Amino acid sequence: MRQRVVRVAVTAVLVALVLLAVPLALVIRSSLYADQRDSLERAALAAAVRVNPDYRSGDPAELPPPATGERLGLYDPQLTRHAGDGPAHGDAAVRRALRGLVAHTQTGSDLVVAVPVPHDETVIGVVRASSPVSTVRNHVFLGWSALLGAAVLALTVAVLVARRQARVLAAPLEDLSRHSRAVVEGDLTARAAPSTVPEIDQVARTHNDMLHSLAELLRHERDFTANASHQLRTPLTGLQLTLESGLDQSDAQLRPVLEEALTSARRLHHTVEEVLRLAGSPEPAHRAVPDRLVTQLLQETEQRWHGLFARDGRRLDFAVQDAPADVRVPGGPVAEILGVLLDNARAHGHGSVRASVRDLDDALAFDVSDEGTLGIEPALLFDRGHTGAGNGGTGIGLALARDLAASLGGRVVVSSGRPTTFTLLIPVHREDSVQ
């Protein structure tokens, strides 16, 4: 912005200087030439007054001494020079003056003024005054140099003023940009400072008000997440303790039910922990630690979901034979993502569901596919709140899966629309593998 302000100011000054300096330069030239002709005419008139009318009969003709750089000469009607300095024979200016006119002309490298000498209504001679054109030209160049110096000075002052004004205008905008960058980097306390420019101050106030509202909104959301999670922890812990105490009872028929309920409670507790981790650590740098073998994770997930699909009369097939046996992944978040994808296939898919794993050397690809056909734009599936037409969903599951995958440095994509296939890509660092 600073450079643009300076360029605009300099361009405006240059246009003004051109519009003023060019006519002024022409005026200087015309004025200096006119002044020199006037000076020659005054000198010639002063000499004509002093000419003795009887100079043709032999009386001396006295001419005043010319100014520096000028020459004066007296010519008779026969164009012969009788006194002073000049060409031996009269030129066109002298011939014109013999007709009773004051002649102004330029002959060769001289400016010439010829004035008639009248006597008894007759022209008895001509006084010719001349000076070199170079003298006037030098004066013109000096005037133009002064004009150029003034123009350069004006341009310099304009540049200095423009740069100062550019700093005044750009500094608050640069400050606002720095604060905006700080906000992008996560500092929601950054606020733009007031400046001396009312319009920019208005933008800064609007920015600060927007940032305050955004910070309050984020604070309320985080407080809600933390409060809800905190309030869920206590009853979940109490439920687990109750179920664990029930396992100590001798009723053999009650024990399987309690074990299944305890497993669900623990799974719900892990879900709350993952939601809290995602809310408190949005950056990929805070990734969960790989803690579970892939084969173990798939077996646990199959046990959890097999009964639900069987209850709906649908088949769930887990292809665990292709899973690497020595690679660990973050069990909690990966299990949550697979749960979201399987629940999505159960609620919105059709036919059998197949889950498999592909080893891509530096990553693992978990595929969950069913026999249905995707009928909407794949990108819309991951928009929070988008549920499709009449499916009864909340529009949160796939968005949560996407965010959980991003927190692990991976991503969830629709790899096929027919049959519908979702793929979870998780990067794997081989140093995390079990040797």
Between 199 and 99, whose confidence is greater? Answer: 99
pLDDT above 80 (res 162):
yes
pLDDT above 70 (res 412):
yes
Average pLDDT of the segment spanning 41-58: 85
Model pLDDT, residue 335: 86
Q: Calculate the CA dihedral of residues 84, 90, 91, 95 and round it to 10 degrees.
A: 120
Task: Compute the distance between CA of residue 155 and CA of residue 361 in angstroms, rounded to an integer.
Answer: 66
pLDDT above 80 (res 75):
yes
Model pLDDT, residue 433: 46
Average pLDDT of the segment spanning 286-304: 79
- pLDDT bracket for residue 432 (50, 70, 90): very low
- The chain-wide mean pLDDT, for the chain, equals 80
Q: Residue 75 belongs to what H/E stretch?
A: strand 71-75
pLDDT above 70 (res 395):
no
Q: What angle do CA 257, 262, 264 make, to 5 degrees?
A: 100
Cβ count within 10 A of residue 140: 18
Average pLDDT of the segment spanning 73-102: 89
Task: Compute the distance between CA of residue 269 and CA of residue 263 in angstroms, rounded to an integer.
Answer: 10
- pLDDT bracket for residue 392 (50, 70, 90): low
Q: What percent of the chain has pLDDT above 90?
A: 20
Model pLDDT, residue 55: 80
- pLDDT bracket for residue 205 (50, 70, 90): confident
Between 56 and 126, whose confidence is greater? Answer: 126
pLDDT in tens, 315-367: 999 887 777 878 888 888 888 889 889 988 888 888 999 999 988 888 899 99
Model pLDDT, residue 102: 92
Model pLDDT, residue 294: 86
Model pLDDT, residue 187: 74
Residue 272's nearest CA partner among 166, 400, 102, 361 is: 400
Which range, of 57-66, 90-99, 146-155, 377-386, averages the lowest pLDDT? 377-386
Domains and CATH numbers, the chain: 2-144 (3.30.450.20), 198-280 (1.10.287), 292-432 (3.30.565.10)
Which range, of 8-12, 13-17, 177-181, 256-260, averages the lowest pLDDT? 256-260
Model pLDDT, residue 192: 73
Model pLDDT, residue 216: 80
Model pLDDT, residue 284: 43
Q: Could you tell me the CA-to-CA distances from 400 to 186, 278, 381, 382, 427 in Å, in that order?
A: 21, 9, 11, 8, 19
Model pLDDT, residue 260: 67
Model pLDDT, residue 271: 66
Model pLDDT, residue 435: 42
pTM of the model: 0.46
Residue 393's nearest CA partner among 404, 403, 384, 402 is: 384
Q: What percent of the chain has pLDDT above 70?
A: 79
Which range, of 97-111, 215-229, 279-293, averages the lowest pLDDT? 279-293
Q: Using the Cα atoms of residue 85, residue 90, residue 92 and residue 97 in order, give the sign of their dihedral.
A: positive
- pLDDT bracket for residue 16 (50, 70, 90): confident
Model pLDDT, residue 283: 45
